[in-house]
Copies of this chain bind each other. A is one copy, B any other.
């Protein structure tokens, strides 16, 4: 038997279901928002950057004429079957930017309508579909209620929030969200979306970079700050069963950040008396990262060397980011990894984390 020929089972942890139109949510909204969206559409936080190449795969147009990523049946044919994907974990990229909108009630109403639409029009369409419900971060107590409302649906496997934020996610104002995640046994998933738009903080620590290339390159900054905040604020001591997935933000910034954090903790831990272990130990036990877009050093060995510097084989989860422009093909990335590690990253880690059957 040639193990190189084994067809790997895949759980794809970041697949983006798109809207057919801005009116998709109308039947799922309550007044006054239903009439409003009917007249004016709905709006997220807005992003002051545009990709020079568009942001969808050019080959993913469904024959149905629906927009790319908006046809649940075609996604089965175009993504799930050819790549042997057992579960596609659906994740609305456009919806999460609603947390950048200033009106918390509006944002909560849109999220709530979306979650009903999502369960009805996506999760029910195929046994291969599971996914993440959306919440709006402006009002964490309301977000917690929304998690309690729909989080127990059997096809819901996580709660997604956006990377952009006015405050780092470890801070206490967000804790009701984590209580609800734990109560519903759902990991928190963080995904980029509209960083720097709407009411979000500027997308880097020195304000607004000039274009999409720079913005996209700097996206891991939100994750670095959220991760440091989660650990140092003691979130993982307070919620020992909470798991957090950092989606689509790269992975290799992690080792140097943890070296810096552990080193600083040794000297400065007087400020965090609630921490009982080294910061990196909390990260190893509570945090996961999806692979796409995987870094591609000129020397492929450097990626393997980097994977030795953190618990990559247990912390990484495969994702393709379908149908986005920077889709990672499961048959083309991470080819240099030993099969045993690939099995974990492509399938076993996600199966365990999301409790998939």
A contact set with B: CB distance below 8 Å:
51-53, 163-171, 195, 200-214, 216-218, 220-222, 224-226, 228-229, 232-233, 250, 252-253, 255-257, 259-265, 267-272, 293, 295-299, 302, 305-306, 308-309, 325-326
Contacts and interface: CB of A to CB of B under 8 A. Distances in A.
A259 B52 CA distance: 20
A207 B209 CA distance: 16
A153 B171 CA distance: 49
Given A264-B217, A308-B302, A270 B52 contact: yes
Given A212-B271, A255-B302, 19 more contacts: A52-B268, A52-B270, A164-B206, A167-B208, A201-B202, A203-B205, A209-B229, A210-B233, A211-B271, A213-B264, A216-B268, A220-B260, A221-B225, A255-B297, A256-B306, A259-B295, A263-B295, A267-B326, A299-B309
Given A224-B221, A225-B221, A295 B260 contact: yes
Nearest to A278: B298
A206 B214 contact: no
B229 A210 contact: yes
A198 to B, nearest CB: 13
A201 B164 CA distance: 15
Contact of A167 (B53, B207, B293): B207
A277 to B, nearest CB: 13
B256 A204 contact: no
Contacts of A222: 204-206
Contacts of A220: 260
Given A267-B326, A268-B53, A221 B205 contact: yes
Contact of A309 (B224, B229, B296, B302): B302
B250 A232 contact: no
26 contacts: A53-B267, A165-B206, A201-B202, A201-B204, A201-B205, A205-B221, A206-B222, A206-B225, A206-B226, A209-B225, A209-B229, A210-B232, A213-B268, A217-B261, A217-B264, A221-B221, A253-B257, A255-B306, A256-B295, A260-B293, A260-B295, A263-B293, A302-B308, A302-B309, A305-B305, A306-B309
A213 B232 contact: yes
